[in-house]
Each structure stands twice: as structure tokens, then as C-alpha cells.
């Protein structure tokens, strides 16, 4: 296979590479033997890399409305030497990524969100896709999967508050049920009844799994039927059981819920080890986000000297996550005018830092974490041109 930067160079499989190679600092002129020596540490197949990224933070954590994962894929095989991290993939950032020879761009926000009916030179997002394809650069977006992850964006944002304990505001649920179906139906069948008929009828319904075991009720030997089914199949099960009044009256129907995932979910509710003044908290947040200014809405009856013990936070746009949460302070990037008024009327202080300012700093931590997770097999670099579009002047 060949690398896009060196079309005449054939790359050896990992098993053929030298086992002890020193990683060289890139220079203007790269000798062929240096590239070969470095290959065992500096390249990953795209599919292998995507699998490792999913192991780091599963895309199943993402919200159902989100568009996450591999958004642009060059024709296979595609080898990744340089992974380029950015919060937003603008045209300026794309130009930087191409100059730095990126093979895969990890854009926290998905540059493709709404469906595209055509790919032309008309809009900036279409041009980004075109340039990626022309230059064989993949685009991957984790977005809300990284918001929910235990080591993700919201966890990083909470680090700026000081010593505290935190939990997700909206916990994530396991992507798969421990059992099949959304409901469990249980009932007993007397041996005098036609057990075979009941079992045959249940097994004949699509999306139903049936189990049976002996049970003794009031010294009478019976058979306990337990079945899992989908919402749609449940109606058919109930229709059959209701034909036998005695059977149906003793039927139990349970709604199955996916188990919650520990430390995973949207937003964070943080309880400080020690209360601090609002003024102190503002300075901590500015320092953590490297901002000279933030926007503040004082809660009713609050001052800069009011104590803060509980902080509810959500990176990005936090309206839907923070709404109704009891806290001394809401911390997010942006919030609607009316949601801000509602929070302030309840005595809750609101700090707004602009959308991506509450996310971008996470990328430095991500660079280190991915480097360790991927065992430094590829180069991981941060965008230097990526920035929030809003500035205080």
C-alpha cells in the first residue's frame, strides 16, 4: 500500500517493520529510510483507528438526534498518520488541516448535520466536504458522545470549579437491554389447561421470547410462563391472554428499563467540597477557560459575595439540560433570554461563556488521552486557527 504524501513509496506491514525505531522530528526533507523506520509507530488503518476511538468513548453515548461518527470517508484503504483535532471545522480550519497533512480530522461539532441534497461549491459546508474528499481526508465527529463520556467535555468543564463531587444531570442508559424486548409478561398455567396451546401461541408471535419453569401455588403444581416482547408484540400477547379471563387476571406486565451507566450522561451537577463566593467562582471559571470576560446574570437577591455550593453545568448550549435543576449557579456556553430570566427569578446565578468556549479547552486533554489510548501510534495535533466566532470588543 502507498501513503498519499509519498505515492511512490510502498509501506511494509507492521509485522515487517523494525522493532526498535526512534521517532524522528519531522523536517523539510524526510529521507525514505526514516519514514520506513517510523511507520510501525506512526500509521493506523482508518477502520482500526475508528474502532479504537469508539473504545475510548462509545458513539452509543450520543443523543439520538445527533450526527456522530465517520462523516466523510476517503476510498479505502485509508491510512492515518496525522489526526487533527478541532472544535469546529470551518474553511479556515480545513486549510490549516491540509497544510499540516492531516489524514483524519476529528471535529467535535459535526460539520454535516442537516442532510445535504447536493455537494457543490455554493455553501461553506459543501466546500469543506469537497476539499476533504479531493485531498483524501476523513472527517469524524463525536459531539454529544464526548459530552456524555465519563472522561469527556462536561467532566473537563467541572474541573475548573475546584474540588467537588459530580454526577450526570441526565444519566445515560446502556445501549443494549440485558434481555430482549421492552416488556416482560408473566403468568401461571394450570396443568389442567392446555399448556402446549399457550406456548405455541406465544412462540408464534414475532419478537417474543418465551421461557417456562415449574411453580407451586397454594400446593398446586403449575407452570410459570415468562416472556419478553416488544411494545408492538405486547398488544398481541394481551389480546391472546384476554381470551381467558382467569389467565389474564393473574397476568403481570413489567416495563423493562435499560440500566444506567455510571458517571455517564448529559450535564453535571457538582457539589463543592467547600462553598465559595460567586466572585471567586467567576475567577476560577475565567482561569480554567482562559477568558478575560464572561456574561453573568445575578439570581434574584444574590450578589457577588453570595455563596456557591452547587453548580449545574452543561458545555455548549445548556438550556434543555439545565432547565428545572436546583443549584446555586448554572454554567454553560449559551442560554436563551427567557430561560435565563426564569433561572434568575429563582435565585439561580447564570454564567454564559459563549458556546464553544466551554468545549474547546477539552481538546488539549483529549490530545493527551488519545495519545495514551492509541499508544502514540499516530501524530495528534491541535488546530491553531479554531476559535469561537463571537468576541467581546
CA atoms within 13 A on the CB side of 226: 9
Instruction: Provide the 3-class DSSP secondary structure of residue 34.
Output: helix
Number of H helices and E strands in the chain, helices first, is 13, 21
CB 171 within 8 A of CB 263: no
Q: Which residues contact 331 (CB under 8 A, 6 or more apart)?
A: 157, 161, 285, 311, 312, 313, 314, 318, 351, 353, 358
Q: Which residues contact 151 (CB under 8 A, 6 or more apart)?
A: 57, 369
Structure confidence at residue 191 (pLDDT): 67
Using the CB atoms, write b or e for 357-376: b if 16+ within 10 Å. bbbbbbbeebeebbeebbee
Asked whether residue 25 carries a pLDDT value surpassing 90, the answer given is no
Chain segment 292-303, per-residue pLDDT in tens: 999 999 999 999
Confidence of residue 36 (pLDDT cuts 50, 70, 90): very low
- Say what percent of the chain tops pLDDT 90: 76
**Spatial distance between the Cα atoms of 158 and 331, rounded to a whole number of angstroms:** 9
Chain segment 277-316, per-residue pLDDT in tens: 999 999 999 999 999 999 999 999 999 999 999 999 999 9
Structure confidence at residue 41 (pLDDT): 53
Structure confidence at residue 32 (pLDDT): 35
Instruction: Provide the 3-class DSSP secondary structure of residue 30.
Output: coil
- Among residues 143, 47, 139, 62, which one has the least CA distance to residue 93? 139
- Among residues 268, 364, 280, which one has the least CA distance to residue 316? 268
**Spatial distance between the Cα atoms of 14 and 48, rounded to a whole number of angstroms:** 13
Q: What is the value of pTM for the model shown?
A: 0.80
Which residue has better confidence, 53 or 2?
53
Amino acid at each position: 500500500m502507498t501513503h498519499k504524501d509519498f505515492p511512490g513509496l510502498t509501506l511494509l506491514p507492521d509485522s515487517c517493520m523494525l522493532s526498535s525505531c526512534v521517532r524522528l522530528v519531522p523536517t523539510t526533507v524526510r529521507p525514505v529510510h526514516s519514514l520506513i523506520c517510523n511507520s510501525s509507530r506512526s500509521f493506523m488503518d482508518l477502520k482500526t483507528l475508528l474502532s479504537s476511538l469508539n473504545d475510548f468513548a462509545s458513539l452509543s453515548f450520543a443523543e439520538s438526534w445527533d450526527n456522530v461518527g465517520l462523516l466523510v470517508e476517503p476510498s479505502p484503504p485509508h491510512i492515518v498518520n496525522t489526526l487533527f483535532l478541532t472544535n469546529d471545522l470551518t474553511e479556515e480550519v480545513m486549510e490549516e488541516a491540509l497544510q499540516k497533512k492531516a489524514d483524519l480530522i476529528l471535529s467535535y461539532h459535526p460539520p454535516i448535520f442537516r442532510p445535504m441534497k447536493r455537494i457543490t461549491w455554493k455553501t461553506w459546508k459543501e466546500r469543506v466536504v469537497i476539499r476533504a474528499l479531493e485531498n483524501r481526508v476523513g472527517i469524524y465527529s463525536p459531539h454529544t458522545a464526548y459530552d456524555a463520556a465519563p472522561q469527556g467535555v462536561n467532566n473537563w468543564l467541572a474541573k475548573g470549579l475546584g474540588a467537588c463531587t459530580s454526577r450526570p444531570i441526565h444519566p445515560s442508559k446502556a445501549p443494549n437491554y440485558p434481555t430482549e424486548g421492552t416488556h416482560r409478561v408473566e403468568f401461571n398455567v394450570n396443568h389442567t389447561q392446555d399448556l402446549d396451546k399457550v406456548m405455541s401461541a406465544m412462540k408464534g408471535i414475532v419478537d417474543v421470547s418465551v421461557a417456562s419453569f415449574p411453580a407451586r401455588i397454594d400446593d398446586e403444581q403449575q407452570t410459570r410462563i415468562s416472556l419478553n416482547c416488544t411494545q408492538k408484540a405486547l398488544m398481541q400477547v394481551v389480546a391472546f391472554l384476554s381470551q381467558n379471563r382467569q389467565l389474564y387476571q393473574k397476568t403481570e406486565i413489567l416495563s423493562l428499563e435499560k440500566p444506567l451507566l455510571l458517571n455517564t450522561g448529559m450535564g453535571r451537577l457538582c457539589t463543592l467540597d467547600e462553598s465559595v463566593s460567586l466572585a471567586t467562582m467567576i475567577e476560577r471559571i475565567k482561569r480554567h477557560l482562559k477568558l478575560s470576560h464572561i456574561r453573568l446574570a445575578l439570581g434574584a437577591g444574590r450578589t457577588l459575595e453570595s455563596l456557591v455550593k452547587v453548580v449545574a453545568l452543561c458545555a455548549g448550549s445548556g438550556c434543555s439540560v439545565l432547565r428545572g435543576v436546583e443549584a446555586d449557579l448554572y454554567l454553560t456556553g449559551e442560554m436563551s433570554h427567557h430561560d435565563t430570566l426564569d433561572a434568575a427569578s429563582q435565585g439561580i446565578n447564570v454564567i454564559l461563556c459563549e458556546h464553544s468556549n466551554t468545549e474547546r479547552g477539552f481538546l488539549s486533554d483529549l490530545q493527551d488521552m488519545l495519545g495514551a489510548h492509541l499508544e502514540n501510534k499516530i501524530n495528534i495535533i491541535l488546530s491553531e486557527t479554531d476559535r469561537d466566532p463571537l468576541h467581546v470588543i
